[in-house]
Amino acid sequence: MSTSTDTPRLLDPDTVARAAAAAARGQSKASTDGVTCPAAVEARKGNSFWCTVWEGSNGETVHMKVLDDQGELSAD
């Protein structure tokens, strides 16, 4: 049973950054260097947020969406 005092389950920041990097740069360049995402993202289906992936002075904004309560992600 869930109560209002339960701490929400958060996604692992490194996993989120790697998923954003893979979406912007391709799977082979999924380094988290130059990736900025929110520090705390709740693993809740339908939750969405933006990350920025930098390559030199060029930044690409990636829209991330949580697909299920287990933290599966998709990127647009």
Q: pLDDT per residue over 30-73, tens digit each?
A: 889 999 999 999 999 999 999 999 998 999 999 999 999 999 99
DSSP designation for 69: T
Query: pLDDT: is 2 or 65 the higher one?
Result: 65
54: its two tokens: 């930098």
| pLDDT at 2 exceeding the cut of 60 | no
Map out the domains of the chain as residue ranges. 13-75
- The predicted model scores a pTM of 0.85
